[in-house]
Structure 1
């Protein structure tokens, strides 16, 4: 057991690093219009033509580290180092936010299991040039799912559509090897209106223990995703 600490340090170093998502905005430059004088009063009163865009459904994000219950953390990240999670830096927590948990269950010396969980939220607003918040979120789901299929250098990832989480959802299951350690990823990318939630749940056997069952790992990732979807809706209740 005296080798557990350095081994865990290696696992932590190799654990998946959540992708930080930074929202970009667009602004219109109307300086040219200011230089033009209106020929008639009616022309001055006429607003510039622009397509109407549906307002975003959700105007804020929940506290990301509270999107899953403590009971769920106890279940899927046994012996989590911090049950409350570690919030990751974000330029604007109302547009994007992530939280990270990790833990090593070493109760059985012959079956030590390491787990990490990352939940990331990204909220999209309506933009006349880019479309509604929902349309932008839909595009991001596709983008994020594609990226998840090759994340951590994974090969032969299995991607499936899910029908019971949010407005749309995809799952990505993969295995990868890093620094002589074998890992297994279960990633769920789901959208609820204009918010995209990415749940990345990873596991590894420690000191010769078997890797976690892929089906069980994905089931836990989906549980976390469903709770996060509910948390987004609850945070926006008036």
Structure 2
């Protein structure tokens, strides 16, 4: 029950902030007010508020309370600190997004592919090449590798829809975290053939390794973005690190 209550408070306050009930710079209700509203302990409220701080929604200060610092993502922005599918991002940004799978095959990792993806040698994979169209224009090229043992019935038809919807709602998988690397790279012949680059000769490339709740990396993706509309946004939190005092240089005594 306390865990469900904590999640309920977090979700409710997050929804109020995102919908504009609390405007930017406005103070949220006090801890005592929230305790009465949600009929819970002070510790439960503080856990929920702590997660809002972690996610960049609010800032707390002693003597002032809880301040809303949330700024909504720009319409064309993707979130660095959120795992969302292309379909989910398209709905959120108000863009018309469609996907087309141009290649779907099975493969097994050799040493070269293992270094490229992070999957162990000998892992059976599904490999797909998918083009994402934004408002009818091909703008994102994805190379996806999925572990077959995590989704043995995956096929091109399922892959052309929302794979995350399939994994979570049909297979019951819990998708937890993703490690990402961002680079800018020269366009390849494949990029120029499959994407509309409008004269650009480079792309923004996002490499992701995504894990489920069992700690299994089930997906490795290279996502190649048209740079004219590439924009990722994040909330960063400073983690203060105490500097280690420098040791005084050793002295010698002359005789």
* Fold-level similarity (TM above 0.5): no
Specify the structure having the higher radius of gyration (Cα): 2
TM-score (norm 2): 0.28
| Higher relative contact order, structure no. (Cα contacts within 8 Å, ≥ 6 residues apart) | 1
